[in-house]
């Protein structure tokens, strides 16, 4: 599957329409449709936002061709992380499974507060 198909699958699994996903991302339903049809490739930051809204890993949206090496995909993704994102991941990986779940829960709560929203 390509990234467009993966976005469509994940959106449908989340029970969202293209319009609803677009509203959550601050883009049009047409833009979501363009990503899904592969007429337009989303920027890495947009892929990260889509994944956050759908509560999935950004890597799960990228092409999952068997010939593509998982380590190479991770390296490519890591190259696009900001220093804050890299620090966030480093701290996250210092936590045990219970701590990681609590971290995700609290981050989701923060996204619900208007003072922290973009």
Reported as a single tens digit per residue, the pLDDT across 37-86 is: 988 888 888 999 999 999 888 888 886 554 455 666 666 777 777 888 88
> Quick check: pTM over 0.75?
no
pLDDT tens per residue across span 6-43: 999 999 999 999 999 999 999 999 999 999 998 888 88
Q: Which two tokens stand for residue 64?
A: 């999952």
pLDDT tens per residue across span 92-113: 889 899 999 999 999 999 999 9
| DSSP secondary structure, 47-114, as one string | HHHHHHHHTS-GGGGS---TTS-HHHHHHHHHHT--HHHHHHHHHHHHS-HHHHHHHHHHHHHHHHSG
């Amino acid at each position: 599957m390509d990234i467009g198909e993966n976005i469509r699958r994940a959106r449908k699994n989340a029970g969202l329409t293209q319009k609803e996903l677009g509203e959550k991302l601050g883009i049009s339903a047409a833009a979501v449709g363009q990503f899904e049809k592969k007429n337009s490739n989303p920027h890495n930051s947009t892929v990260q936002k889509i994944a956050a809204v759908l509560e999935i890993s950004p890597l799960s949206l990228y092409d999952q061709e068997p010939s593509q090496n998982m380590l190479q995909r991770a390296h490519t993704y890591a190259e696009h992380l900001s220093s804050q994102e890299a620090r966030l991941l480093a701290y996250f990986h210092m936590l045990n499974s219970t701590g990681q779940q609590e971290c995700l829960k609290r981050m989701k709560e923060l996204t619900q507060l208007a003072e922290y929203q973009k």
